[in-house]
A and B are shown apart, each in its own frame.
Chain A
Amino acid sequence: MKSNVPVAKNRLGLIFFPAYDWAITPDHPEREERLLYTHDQIIEEGLLDVEGIYEFKPELATEKDVARVHICVPNVKTLATTSHLISAGGAITAAKKYIEGVVDKAFALVRPPGHHAFRVVHGNRGFCNINNEAIMVEWLRTNYNPELKVVFIDTDAHHADGTQDIYYHDPNVLHISIHQDGRTLYPGTGFTWELGGPGAMAKTLNIPLPPGTTDEGYLYVIDELILPILEEFKPDLIINSAGQDNHYSDPLTNMGITAQGYAELNHRLNPHLAVLQGGYSIEDALPYTNLGILLAMAGLDYSNLKEPDYHPSRSRQDSRTMDQIKQIVEQVRYYWENRDRLISDEFETIGNGYYQREREIFYDTDYISEKQKETVKVCNTPDCHGHIFIKSIGTHLGIYKKRVSIAAVIIPRLVCKECQQIAREKYEEYCQKGQYHYVYLQNQVNEEYLRWVRE
């Protein structure tokens, strides 16, 4: 046996897939070399030789794995290219190794990222096509435990609007996004009052932080707000959607987190799984932040980890920003404590237990504008998560203004017989109407994912 190596306190699985032969465009920030230096750093540190750290090859996610989460317009094949299927498959591999007990924790260091991908996907937004971490969770729920209680803590500087959207009506998933205030950064959402659908109030929590937040401010949020909430929610699974664009050197954002901060954050959160998100300071941040997360997850000493230009003063928070952060924490805590009394003001009631909202969603990468009407049933039967109808029109903002209209019926995994029946009938009705280009059924109960195409 190897005798001359350090031993990790936690067995850690690493799924590393840098996709060295894939980029959106040659000069795009989400590019081939994003993980190049991280890779060099991991190899040079000898991390894969550590007793208890294992590397696994990613599998390819299947079309079914994608259809379980997304309504892909026009279809899965067009939107989920091989690179996306590997990236999502890497997240599945991480979950698999964890749930099989091969490792105590796993980190999917994969690209392209996924957290801006909504349930309905007309194209790429915020560098994301499909949502790796949602595909991972739904794979787990299908294959292991339909009642799994999950917490997402998304630490990317950009609001995790995609993952939020997918789990907006799911009371078993607590989605917490900590990000730079949407008034100052893409995608411009993620305010404290976005709290989830009427059947899952305060199961979505947003913590928009002011630009210039440092380790101290960030860790205050973790200690004072997040950890007590986790204590109460009692999740089976904690997932860190590990974006690293909060780093002080990131070219796209204005935050001030250091590699020490990331390591400390992961140490305190103690997630079972981590899935890489954004982070575009590929030279000055990613090698150090990723190493920090890996060391913290493995339970190894990270006190010697520093960026070349690190200085302890970088971690300190000025008092004015700290006051703002404290106010935000107060507000979110208030929502959480009063979660059973909250009334949704995003959704209008349309009677019979149905609620509705209309939205516009913009796809920055593919330049598509989507108009969406979402109707959700809140069911009184215990343990029934109701059902969802979606109507959506995607307008491609090119010269020709191509328009694609769809309708979709969503039957969640935990659902009563009656809701299932109503939803199925609705699907048939949409198909018969023939007024949409495509009609989708996403029935998670018996893994039935149908797409009707208008001739």
Chain B
Amino acid sequence: MIIGIDVGGTHTDGVLIKNGQVTKTGKVVTRRDDLKESILEVLDELLVGQDEKKIERIVFSTTLTTNLIAQRKYPPTGLVLIPGPGMKPDWLKLGTINWLLKGSIDHRGRKVMDLEQNELKSFLEELATSGIVDLAIVGKFSTRNPSLEEKLESFIREHLPEVDNVQLGSRVAPVLNFPRRVHTTWLNTAVYRENTIFLKEVQDAVHKRGINAQLYLLKADGGTMLLQEGINFGVETIKSGPAASIMGFLALSGTEKRTSLLLDVGGTTTDIALITGGVPLFEPEGVEIEGYLTSVRGLLNRSIPYGGDSRIIVDNGQIGLAPERVGPAVAFGGSVPTLTDALVVAGLVEKGDQKQARLAFAKLVEHIEDSLEEAAQKIIDHFYLKVKEAVEELLIELNNRPVYTIHELLTDTRLEPEVVMMIGGPAKALLPGLADKLGLAPILPDYYHVANALGAAVARPTLRQTLYADTAQKFYRLSGIMGKQQITGRFTLKDARQILLEHMKSMVKQNGGLNIDDKLIEITHEESFNLVRGFSTQGQILRLKAQVKPGIDPALGELKFLMKGEIKQ
């Protein structure tokens, strides 16, 4: 048995999957001040009449880190930058105290300048008097050579062991892009303590219920990581809500391989995402949170500020929607008419109080020419228009993503969705009309009310790894792994490929021993360049990337979500 739990802002949902079928779902109101409690409530609901010994794994998607960052709930933090030459780093100020240290690494990972002894001394004194024990250290090009970051770290360990939360950019965010690495590392430092407490509590509580399942967390990229790993990489769990919903779509869309537009309509916002060839799209550089650009790999997701609870306004004789949540709808006991009321008046939603909704609408149309039905249709059309605009904008952006080789430029295929899928409360009412406006085939998945929890449950672990080799300097390096590896003798693309794949396989094994087929490990990127000095080849730079793609865990076998029958709410 597998359990998926999605801790959302409003509700915490859960699903229990047995033999590839959803056998139980649960929903409770999220307690924002005690997420662990919400998790346990849902868990208990799901476990009624089940043998908890038979649960193999539980996957959580949680908003904890997202909330900590949004509410700025973190301890005093320090940030050390080793920026070297380049853009002025003044704007990169985060947390309580910032230090800029001398020292630099160049683009090939060569140490141009070491840390300076005198500077180190005074830094250490300042750190000691500040009382800060949460520290992020990030150097420019530290992904190519982390020695300066590591040197500083061991220096602190030696002289100030009480500073026990030291995070390095080269470990937390081992990809190029210094400012994003700084944001990501600092955020990871900031959420570290709270996140650790939360995860340990969850672990204990689950064990107390006699469950010995492997515990996983859903990451922003729609993959999972062991809960243990989540302690060191808390920042990877930001934005796991949208990721859960996209993975839910993926599970519910079954064998659909056409490019599909995904819409998740909530009360306040509508989220837009895309799946092409059964694989969701990514944010190319990393996700953004609270204005911080990070290097956390996440699934592509765009939000528009319109949803079921959006307010209806009349302006200059025109009726339309405002990007403002009022809710609930008048038909459901609210006081201000919303998009949902328009759906009620238009006869697309049968639940709720028809009469109240029509009364509220009658007031709205007093000063305009439209009948109630016309006004309702105009509002619904307004919503469709907002979605359409956002989708068009997103497609333009995606189809303009730069490429850097002639081959890619010529073989670049345009993304054109053929299908639109929708989940969320008003999905059933909105989908037919919207699909018509977008000119796409509509699909309304089953279980759309618990798609997120379902997505979390069936997501498989994802892994990413980069190998960078410089055969002239005779080393290769794997991202996030300590130290350089020596190269002896000839080292070709083939050798690099083999090392990377071997390494990925062992990482997969460590990741909870899930049966990930080696076929799922793919090399996504290969580059090799001859290094020319004075017109003769000195060696090569090799860059390879490999990943286990996000997707549905094959260990689950055939998912049978198209089963009929009522699921108890």
Contact = CB atoms under 8 A, between A and B. Distances in A.
B140 A44 contact: yes
B178 interface: yes
A31 interface: yes
Contacts of A16: 402, 404
Contacts of B88: 300-301, 303-304
Interface string B404-417: 11110110000000
Interface stretch (B21-29, B195-203, B440-448, B526-534): B526-534
A55 interface: yes
A358 interface: no
Given A4-B183, A27-B535, A21 B293 contact: no
A246 B319 CA distance: 63
Interface in A1-48: 1-6, 16-22, 26-27, 29, 31-33, 36-37, 39-41, 43-48
A4 B532 CA distance: 39
Nearest to B540: A33
Given A33-B531, A44-B140, A46-B180, A22 B406 contact: yes
Nearest to B92: A4
Given A2-B293, A55-B402, A57-B402, A306 B530 contact: no
A304 B107 contact: no
A300 B87 contact: yes
Given A4-B291, A49-B293, A21 B400 contact: no
Contacts of A327: none
B235 to A, nearest CB: 15
Contacts of A49: 177, 179-180, 285, 293
A282 B536 CA distance: 14
B262 to A, nearest CB: 24
Nearest to B140: A44
B152 to A, nearest CB: 19
Contacts of A5: 91, 179, 293
A56 B86 contact: no
Interface in B101-145: 104, 106-108, 110, 112-113, 140-141
A57 B179 contact: no
Contacts of B89: 304
Contacts of A6: 87, 91
A27 to B, nearest CB: 6
Contact of A44 (B107, B285, B290): B107
A295 interface: yes
Interface in A198-255: 251
A57 to B, nearest CB: 5
B153 interface: no
A31 B278 CA distance: 37
Contacts of B178: 44-46
Given A58-B409, A82-B410, A295-B87, A33 B529 contact: yes
B529 A21 contact: no
A2 B541 CA distance: 34
A304 B89 CA distance: 9
B553 interface: no
B494 interface: no
Contact of B529 (A32, A56, A60, A307): A32
B87 A45 contact: yes
Nearest to A259: B85
B403 interface: yes
Interface string B80-98: 0001011111010000000
A159 B82 CA distance: 40
B37 interface: no
Given A4-B293, A43-B177, A304-B85, A29 B400 contact: no
A283 B533 CA distance: 9
Given A82-B410, A283-B108, A26 B530 contact: yes
Contacts of A297: none
B188 to A, nearest CB: 16
A286 to B, nearest CB: 10
B155 interface: no
B353 interface: no
A445 B224 CA distance: 63
A86 B177 contact: no
A293 to B, nearest CB: 13
A316 B439 CA distance: 65
Interface residues of A, number: 55
A283 B106 CA distance: 10
Nearest to B401: A57
A36 to B, nearest CB: 6
Contact of B532 (A29, A47, A55): A29
Nearest to B104: A308
B530 A33 contact: yes
A291 interface: yes
A44 B532 contact: no
A305 interface: yes
A45 B529 CA distance: 22
B324 interface: no
Given A18-B404, A20-B404, A36 B85 contact: no
Contact of B176 (A18, A26, A40, A58): A40
B291 A1 contact: yes
Given A4-B183, A283-B108, A304 B535 contact: no
Contacts of B112: 308
Contacts of B541: 33, 36
A405 interface: no
B99 interface: no
A142 interface: no
B288 A291 contact: no
A41 B86 contact: yes
B183 A47 contact: no
Nearest to A20: B405
Given A29-B532, A301-B88, A43 B405 contact: no
Nearest to B529: A33
Nearest to B110: A308
Contact of A27 (B288, B409, B536): B536
A88 to B, nearest CB: 13
Contacts of A39: 404
A196 B437 CA distance: 60
A369 interface: no
A17 to B, nearest CB: 7
B407 A21 contact: yes
Interface string A47-87: 11100000111101000000000000000000000110010
Contacts of B110: 308
A306 B530 CA distance: 26
Nearest to B292: A4
A21 B89 CA distance: 34
A412 interface: no
A44 B141 contact: yes
A310 to B, nearest CB: 8
Contacts of A162: none
Contact of A305 (B85, B107, B293, B535): B85
Given A45-B86, A304-B89, A57 B410 contact: no
B524 interface: no
A386 interface: no
A18 B100 CA distance: 33
Contacts of B409: 17, 57-58, 60, 86
Contact of B403 (A27, A32, A44, A57): A57
Contacts of A3: 290-292
A287 interface: yes
Interface in A301-354: 301, 303-308, 310
A301 B89 CA distance: 10
Q: Which 8 A-B pairs have the closest CB atoms?
A: A3-B291, A46-B179, A33-B529, A306-B85, A308-B112, A21-B405, A301-B88, A20-B405
12 contacts: A2-B291, A21-B407, A40-B176, A41-B107, A46-B180, A49-B285, A49-B293, A288-B85, A300-B87, A300-B88, A304-B86, A310-B85
Given A1-B291, A32-B530, A45-B179, 9 more contacts: A6-B91, A21-B406, A31-B532, A41-B86, A41-B107, A57-B402, A251-B535, A304-B89, A308-B112
